[in-house]
Amino acid sequence: MIGQEIVYKTLNELGINYEYYESPKDFSNEDDGSFWNKINATRCKNLFLRNHKGDKHFLIIADYYKPIDIKLIEQKFKKGKISFASQKRIDKYLKSPIGAISVFSLLNDTENHVHLFIDENLKNSTRLTFLPNALNAILAIDYKDFIKIVEHSGNNYEFFKFY
């Protein structure tokens, strides 16, 4: 299966069931809805951001189809200017390819440096989808199992209303 070993090892250790899907694409262009309707899960976007000093890093997990305004996040976070983190920072903290960051990337953050902000509206979802720290595969898991993974990671997290 495509993805980092730590992802599947953790899923097995925590007794989490998942559905595995592969694609010749990276799932970024499958916007016709037919694929996503078939798996019956909320598609999630995962944004890895940093503050202006570069000493704080944030992972935002939200509904893929909902807009996120970085300026609004700056105002709400009160952490100064926020921008996307570079591949160098991704390599240091999350060890995932660019474009393949997800909740599973927190499993690589052994120092729990990254603070997670979860879209409050995801609480209304039954199932969510995430890349297994690699492109060309996706996993669908139950919302309650998503929270299990978040808590298992040890990273600080909070729910947030992005819109």
Q: What is the pLDDT of residue 26?
A: 56
Q: What is the pLDDT of residue 6?
A: 97
Q: What is the pLDDT of residue 33?
A: 64
Where is pLDDT greater, at 107 or 81?
A: 107
Provide the 10 A C-beta neighbour count for residue 13: 9
Q: Which CATH number characterizes residue 27's domain?
A: 3.90.960.10
pTM exceeds cut of 0.75: yes
Sign of the torsion formed by the C-alpha atoms of 125, 2, 14 and 49: negative
Which residues fall within 8 angstroms of residue 40, CB to CB, at 6 or more apart? 126, 127
d(CA 118, CA 69): 15
CA dihedral 80, 48, 163, 123 (to 10 degrees): -130
Q: What is the pLDDT of residue 13?
A: 97
Which residues fall within 8 angstroms of residue 37, CB to CB, at 6 or more apart? none
Q: Is the pLDDT of residue 93 over 80?
A: yes
CA 66: distance to chain centroid?
Answer: 15
The chain-wide mean pLDDT, for the chain, equals 90
DSSP string, 98-131: TT---GGGGGG-TT--PEEEEEGGGGG-SEEEE-
Which residue segment(s) compose the domain that 28 sits in?
Answer: 5-160
> Tens digit of pLDDT for each residue in 100-159?
999 999 999 999 999 999 999 999 999 999 999 998 899 999 999 999 999 999 999 999
Q: Is the pLDDT of residue 31 over 70?
A: no
Number of domains in the chain: 1
d(CA 144, CA 36): 20
Q: What is the pLDDT of residue 126?
A: 96
Provide mean pLDDT across the span 39-59.
92
